[in-house]
Amino acid sequence: MQHRIVVLGAGYTGAIAAGRLAKRLRREDVAITLVNAEPDFVERVRMHQLATGQDLKPRPFSEMFAGTGVELRLAKVTGVDVDRKTVAVIDANGAEELAYDTLVYALGSGWNAQGVPGTAEHAYEIASRPGALRLRERLARLDAGQTVVVVGGGLTGLEAATEIAEARPDLSVSLAARGGLGDWLSPKGREHLRKVFGKLGITAHEHAAVTAVEADRVATADGKAIPAAVAVWTTGFAVHPIAKATALEVTGTGQIVVDGTMRSVSHPDVYAVGDAAMVMGPGDKPLRMSCASGSPTAWQAADAIAARLTGGKLPNVPIRYFNQCISLGRKEGLIQYVTADDRAVQAVLTGRLAALYKELICKGAAWSVVNPTLGLPTRRHRVTREQAAAGSAVEATA
Ligand SMILES: Cc1cc2nc3c(=O)[nH]c(=O)nc-3n(C[C@H](O)[C@H](O)[C@H](O)COP(=O)(O)OP(=O)(O)OC[C@H]3O[C@@H](n4cnc5c(N)ncnc54)[C@H](O)[C@@H]3O)c2cc1C
């Protein structure tokens, strides 16, 4: 009997986890199924590039996983029953249930409108490909001099505003930030950011919490109206509601609570990785939703599953941050070095070199997804029946 591992979501973390499991475990022992709604890998970290008219390399899963032993299932996940250990999916042929012995939940996240009035009707998002394509089409129709406001002064907002201003110097681009511009960066980092904003002609509205979005403006908490033919909403990400509807222990925002091996604290046969998981990082701070910390959660989950199934040693690699890599258009960048718990230190890398560095990071992240089983030593251990049948439950209750 094969041990059935079902991985939900083939974004950065789900695809990496599935590939690593295939590399670690023998094909005769496990059946790995990877479920994803779309047929190709979406490089979410490049959605601001897609929105500004750049074309991204197509990366079909059928090619990526050919010959790896991972079975691809193109379907939309509609629910998970953690008591019956089944996943409900739907595709063109109708609804179906998939049974699992071990589940890896990696459905990622989408945009977070935070309940601000008018966002659903008027704002554009770049957390998803459909959102980025919708913005792309809208930007292409804007005439010179029209206004674009990027709402959100975090990493995604900075990348979006600079990318739009560089691609469309004829537009009037501004950014509304709840705090000061790049106020978490080091002094050198902030200075560089202001310089680039100046060069690209981007207006920064600082300490401007946006409270409503209308068809042609956004309103701020201090009663101002910022003209906006287009408002791009980038104030963080929200996870999909599927996990919250299960018996899994989740946070108030719906992230699955996991231990250091990415295993659900309530259901030992479920693992969660990437944006969907609430993982405590260094300094007892939750990891932020990012590829930077998401990819290591996928490695950790796959290695832990393999270890538990084969009686091997559990991984115990602390997940930490090294830097924040921020693109500021195609020609400029900012690499802000940080402490293990993501606080800025003095060192920064700026300019073209930083842009190049960021590009290499994006390419590297895609490479590790697109080559799911390459680059790892093959350590295919036998799954022992006892470990597969009982090991996880015993350990979880111990
Ligand atoms: C514009 C932008 C720039 C970013 N830049 C950076 C950066 O520079 N550095 C960084 O570290 N992070 C960055 N991020 C964040 C990063 O993209 C996410 O943290 C990362 O994608 C999370 O990976 P994941 O595997 O958890 O989820 P995702 O990559 O979102 O993958 C989830 C997968 O699940 C699939 N899925 C979702 N729901 C269903 C369903 N119901 N049924 C079936 N399939 C489903 C999706 O199609 C997708 O394939 C950026 C994000 C954006 C939007």
pLDDT digit string, tens, across residues 142-179 = 999 999 999 999 999 999 999 999 999 999 999 999 99
The pLDDT value recorded for residue 384 is 73
Q: Is the CB of 69 under 6 A from ligand 1?
A: no
Distance in Å, CA 44 to ligand 1 centroid:
5
Structure confidence at residue 159 (pLDDT): 98
Q: Note whether 309 and 382 are within 8 A (CB).
A: no
- In this predicted model, what pLDDT tens digit does every residue of 332-381 receive, in sequence order? 999 999 999 999 999 999 999 999 999 999 999 999 898 877 765 566 67
pLDDT at 249 over 90: yes
* pLDDT per position as a tens digit, 59-81: 999 999 999 999 999 999 999 99
Average of per-residue pLDDT across 388-398: 46
393 pLDDT tier (thresholds 50, 70, 90): very low
Q: How far is the CA of 48 from the centre of ligand 1 (A)?
A: 13
pLDDT band at 386 (very low <50, low <70, confident <90, very high): low
pLDDT of residue 391: 47
397 has a pLDDT exceeding 50: no
- Taking the centre of ligand 1 as the mean of its atom positions, its distance from the CA of residue 94, in whole angstroms, is 26
Which residues make beta-bridge pairs with 238? 110
At residue 385, the pLDDT reads 63
Q: Is the pLDDT higher at 240 or at 379?
A: 240
272 lines ligand 1 (CB under 6 A): no
Long-range contacts made by residues 92-98, C-beta under 8 angstroms, separation at least 24? 98/6, 98/33, 98/35, 98/73
- C-alpha to C-alpha distance for 30 and 199, rounded to whole angstroms: 55
Confidence of residue 388 (pLDDT cuts 50, 70, 90): low
> Beta strands 237-239 and 109-111: pairing type?
antiparallel
Report residue 210: phi and psi, to 5°.
Answer: -80, 130
Q: How many CB atoms lie within 10 A of CB 20?
A: 22
What is the C-alpha separation between 286 and 167, in angstroms, rounded?
35
Distance 109 CA to ligand 1 centre (A): 6
235 lines ligand 1 (CB under 6 A): no
For 272-326, the pLDDT digits (tens) are: 999 999 999 998 999 999 999 999 999 999 999 999 999 999 988 889 999 999 9
* Cα separation, 321 vs 323, whole angstroms: 6
Take residue 29 and report the two structure tokens written for it.
Answer: 């022992």
Instruction: Report pLDDT for 375.
Output: 60
3-state helix, strand, coil in the chain (%, to 5): 35, 30, 40
Atom of ligand 1 nearest to the CA of 38: 47
Quick check: CB of 11 below 6 Å from ligand 1?
yes
CA distance 207 to 154: 13
Q: What spacing in Å lies between the alpha carbon of 377 and ligand 1's midpoint?
A: 27
Among 44, 47, 295, which is best to mutate for testing ligand 1, by the most ligand atoms less than 8 A from CB?
44
Q: Across residues 192-206, what is the average pLDDT?
A: 98
Does 197 sit in the ligand 1 pocket, CB within 6 Å? no
Whether the CB of 10 sits within 6 Å of ligand 1: yes
Give me the phi and psi of 384, to 5 degrees please. Answer: -90, 140
